[in-house]
Amino acid sequence: MKLSDKTEAEEINEILKDEKVQDAIKLSSEDKPEDHKVIENQGRSALGITVIISIICIILYFLLEWSYFPVRESYIAPLQKIVLGLMFASFVLVLNRVFRSIIKRKVKDGSVAYNLKNIVNLFSGIFIFAIALSLFFTNWYATMVSFGVVSLIVGLALQNPLSSFFGWIYLLVRKPYEVGDRIKIGPVYGDVINLGYFDTTLWEFKGDYLSGDHPSGRIIKFANSRIFQEYVYNYSWPLFPFIWHELNLFVSYDTDLKLTSNIIQRVAEEEIGETMMRRVKRFKKILAGTLIDELEVKEKPTIILRAHTNGWIEVTLRYLSEPKNSGRIKTRLFQKIMEELLKHPDKIGLPNIKLNKTE
């Protein structure tokens, strides 16, 4: 079958067969609404299997206690210990599934739910590790002492991973950014798609090959410890989820500046839309209760004129837009503004266009 003969669904299915693609989807879109039924069914199946394993462990423990199996007496105690460890580990996994299910139903904020699930998984792992340690030691005192020694050795050997882990805790508590936010940290810029225990994953925007706010197609991973070393620029502040953009044009000194400003202002207000400006107004009222001067936030686009060293007048359109729509809005504005300005070649002098004024 030729590529051109394949349907869209067939091509998508072929891509989804790749294990790396499946892992990436699980990593970056774990709980999409359309997949809730599938996730719930998988969760119930896993919970059911875990409960069955717990019941089997309980039965095995008592069968060993009653010497039901032909096993040497010296082996019974160690076997019971192993079965008991498996049983407690199963209980921890059952509780893990229950808590994750509660979080999914009760917590509506995707970022908060994501972080809570990571915390539940972390504590589950710690408890299972403690249970595994207890199998090798007779008493808990020896276990805790050994755990402390191991922790000290691991802490000295793994300083960077531990710094990244504490960075993850800092991210959960202080929330400089969350999953779904658009950020810039150091030289990299993109949308946060995964916040792990040790690293953060970004879907890169701009990058080395692009100048606009468009995805580059690359994935960036960096250690969470960088949060202690770099400035973090977050473009998704809940109190004001907009950023200022500028669009620059050049016109000649004999241009009708009033007409030019009016055209650009009208086009900008039409393209940005009344809905957008109304949203900005609402956020201005919210900002009035903060330390930010609300008078500096203008919902309508503004025009700035200044002389440029290249011998032209620079016309700057300054406007607000949502970070994730900025690239599309800027393109639309430029196309529409140029269409309107080119309708007045006798009054607006653009580069490489001479005014044809009649005396």
Q: Which of 210, 234, 258 is the last residue of a domain?
A: 234
Query: What is the CB neighbour count within 10 angstroms for residue 116?
Result: 19
Domain range spanning residue 216? Answer: 177-234
- Structural domain contains residue 305: yes
Q: Which of 200, 234, 268 is the last residue of a domain?
A: 234
Task: Give the CA count within 13 Å in the CB-facing half-sphere of 6.
Answer: 11
Radius of gyration of the chain (CA): 30
Token pair recorded at residue 132: 């595994």
Residues 259 and 286 in one domain: yes
pLDDT by residue, tens only, the chain of 359 residues: 444 556 667 766 776 677 666 665 565 554 444 445 545 555 566 667 777 877 787 787 777 777 766 766 666 667 777 777 787 888 888 888 888 888 777 777 676 777 777 788 888 888 888 777 777 665 555 555 556 656 666 665 567 778 888 898 889 888 899 888 999 999 999 999 999 888 999 999 887 887 777 888 899 999 999 999 999 999 887 777 888 889 999 999 999 999 999 999 999 999 887 777 777 777 776 666 555 554 566 778 899 999 988 889 999 999 988 888 888 899 999 999 999 999 998 999 988 755 555 54
Residues 49 and 84 in one domain: yes
* 315: Cβ contacts below 8 Å, ≥ 6 apart: 248, 249, 250, 251, 260, 261, 264, 303, 304, 305
- Structural domain contains residue 315: yes
Q: Quick one: DSSP state of residue 356?
A: -
Task: Using alpha carbons, select from 297, 272, 303 the residue that is nearest to residue 282.
Answer: 297
Residues 205 and 260 in one domain: no
- Structural domain contains residue 355: no
Residues 262 and 184 in one domain: no
Residues 56 and 152 in one domain: yes
Q: Which of 157, 186, 203 is the last residue of a domain?
A: 157
- Domain total in the chain: 3
Q: Quick one: DSSP state of residue 101?
A: H
Calpha distance 96→128 (Å, rounded): 11
- Structural domain contains residue 53: yes
E-strand ranges in 106-214 read 182-185, 188-195, 199-205
CATH number of the domain to which 223 belongs: 2.30.30
* 333: Cβ contacts below 8 Å, ≥ 6 apart: 247, 267, 268, 271, 317, 319
- Enter the pTM of the model: 0.61
Residues 186 and 300 in one domain: no
Count of residues in the chain: 359
- Structural domain contains residue 167: no
Residues 137 and 35 in one domain: yes
What does each C-alpha distance from 310 to 264, 314, 335 come to in angstroms? 22, 9, 24
Residues 184 and 85 in one domain: no
Residues 153 and 41 in one domain: yes
The whole-number pLDDT of residue 134 equals 72
Residues 227 and 133 in one domain: no
What DSSP line would sit under 8-27, residue for residue? HHHHHHHHHTSHHHHHHHHH
Residues 143 and 50 in one domain: yes
- Structural domain contains residue 169: no
Burial letters 27-50, b for 16+ CB under 10 A, else e: ebeeeeeeeeeeeeeeeeeebeeb
Burial letters 257-290, b for 16+ CB under 10 A, else e: beebbebbeebbeebbeeebbebbeebbeebeee
- Structural domain contains residue 96: yes
CATH number of the domain to which 268 belongs: 3.30.70.100
- Structural domain contains residue 162: no
Residues 194 and 253 in one domain: no
Q: Quick one: DSSP state of residue 323?
A: G
